[in-house]
Structure 1
């Protein structure tokens, strides 16, 4: 089964990447893997603090994931898989590609704001020739109807 890998974050464009991946998976008999990365800088190390911070971050991620998962289960009828990793988002995405050979496409949302930076996309494009699968970039401001038409 071909899986579509999407990076879950708090960005607006993440929504369109999720929609695109779910609709493509539903239309091609594939699956969706949602990767969320807890940045290592967000976890303070200290006496018991790191475990509490990690647990709180995982709870937030799972709640965020459940919003997307509920829609995926009901509309395009796809059961997404959640992977939570800790570290640099770009490095962890690349590591996930190595860990799961069934991932066939990375789907990333692109911010319409030209001044915004996307370090994950920048890193993936630098290493695109060595990746095990293609990257699909979904504009963050593309209408939902257009996404449905092209998937």
Structure 2
């Protein structure tokens, strides 16, 4: 089964990336892997504090994931898989692709705000010839109707 890998974050464009991945997976008999990365910078290292912060980050991620998963299960009828990793998002995304041989496409949301930066996308495209699979970039400004039409 071909899987679509989507990065879960707090950005507005993440929603369109999730929708696109779920609809494409549904229409092609594929699956969706939702990757959430806890940045090392978000975890303060100290006497037991790191584990508490890590647990809190996981709880937030799981709650955020459940919102998308509920929609995916009911509308496009896709059962998403959640993977939580820790470290640099670009490195963890590449590591996930390396570890899961069924991942065929990475889906990333692109901000519709002019001048907005996407550090992950910038980093991934530094050496596009070395990418292990295609990347689909989904504009955050696309309507649900347009997404449905193109998937």
TM-score for both structures, normalised by structure 2: 0.98
User: What SS does structure 2 have at the residue aligned with 1:116?
Assistant: coil
| 1:9-88 alignment runs, 5 A limit | 9-88=9-88
How far has the Cα of 1:114 moved from its partner? 2.1
The match for 1:148 is: 148
How far has the Cα of 1:127 moved from its partner? 2.7
The match for 2:94 is: 94
How far has the Cα of 1:101 moved from its partner? 1.0
The match for 2:118 is: 118
Name the CA distance, whole Å, in 1 between partners of 2:29 and 2:125.
Answer: 27
Instruction: Say which is worse superposed, 122-131 or 71-80, in terms of deviation.
Output: 122-131
User: What SS does structure 2 have at the residue aligned with 1:101?
Assistant: coil
Structure 2's unaligned 5+ residue stretches are none
Runs of 4 or more, structure 1, over 4 Å off, are none
Deviations 1:33-79 (A, max 9, x none): 00000000000011100000000000000000000000000000000
User: What SS does structure 1 have at the residue aligned with 2:24?
Assistant: helix
Name the CA distance, whole Å, in 1 between partners of 2:18 and 2:127.
Answer: 23
TM-score for both structures, normalised by structure 1: 0.98
Instruction: Say which is worse superposed, 121-130 or 100-109, in terms of deviation.
Output: 121-130
Structure 1's unaligned 5+ residue stretches are none
How far has the Cα of 1:126 moved from its partner? 1.3
